[in-house]
Amino acid sequence: MNEVLAHLHDVSIGYDTPLIEGINVEISEGDVIAILGPSGIGKTTLLRTISGLIRPLSGEIELAIPSRGGLGYIPQRLGLVGNLSVRANVSMGARVRTSRWWPAVFPLPKEFEEDISKAMRHLGIEDIADQPVRILSGGQQRRVATARTVAQKPKLVLADEFLGELDDDNVEVVMRTVHATIRAQNSALIMVEHHEKLAKEVANRIWRIKDGKLIEEVVS
């Protein structure tokens, strides 16, 4: 039986005015959800609201995941630290698996090193582990952001167009790794995606945003 990880009760989202209203959805373990809709309709705002970065205008969001490390977030601009190496960026994912009292200046405990190396290996970035992220291409940076989330092992992953700028081969590598992580952790993924064909290939649920409403579509 898959547990419910998040529950949105009659949620309205937006900044000053509502972008999407009356959202009533559940997210369970094993879900891979793709959010589709035109630009500026509120897809990113929905992810940011679920992540807790902004508050819903009304309604309630219940998250049944740990507040530290339970949620993995890959923003549209990836949120990497350009001056740090690939390894240091990926390590940040593992760092939130430590106790919140683990001193920030201390190196990570040894048992996390294998997870970090494995995440980099799966995403094909092990050979550039010591390079600063700022000199990498857009596609390589997307793989680093994904590896950071894989090393984090979160229960719920929110990814905003994280497959953009990747060629077909890399999309397959990234999605295979993310799927494997979700299966291993029995977690869930919500991804904003512009390419409908790709979304339907990788997701088992589709949320379409239309006329300020979230409509769940059946994936054939």
Partner 1 sequence: MGIVTAISLLALYIFNDMVGDWGRLSGGWENLVIFFNESLWPPDWSILEAQSYPVCEQEVELFCSVAWLGMVETIKIAFVATALGFVFALPLSVLAANNLSPLWMAIPARVILAAMRSLPSIIWAVLFMIIFDVGTLAGIFAMTFYTVGYLGKLQFESMEGLKNAPLEAAKAMGMTRAETAWHIALPESANHLLSHLMFMFEYNVRHGTVIGLVGAGGIGLYINTYLKLTQYDKVVALLLVVFIVVVLIDFLSMAIRSTVTEEGDVRRPSWSTIFLPASISSKYHTTPMKTSSSKEDE
Nearest alpha carbon to residue 120 among 177, 190, 187: 177
Q: Say which DSSP state 102 is in.
A: S
Which of 24, 81, 179, 215: binder of partner 1 (CB under 8 A)?
Answer: 81
Of residues 2-41, those binding partner 1 (CB under 8 A): none
Binding segment for partner 1 (CB under 8 A), chosen from 18-26, 29-37, 61-69, 175-183, is 61-69
CB of 176 to partner 1, least distance (A): 18
CB of 160 to partner 1, least distance (A): 10
Does residue 45 bind partner 1 (CB under 8 A)? no
CB of 73 to partner 1, least distance (A): 4
189/206 with CB nearer partner 1: 189
Dihedral pair phi/psi, residue 61, rounded to 5°: -115, 120
Q: How would DSSP label each residue in 169-202?
A: HHHHHHHHHHHHHHHHHT-EEEEE-S-HHHHHHH
Does residue 105 bind partner 1 (CB under 8 A)? yes
- x-marked contacts with partner 1 along 107-136 as a string, rule CB under 8 A: ---------------------x--x--xxx
Do 87 and 114 contact (CB within 8 A), yes or no? no
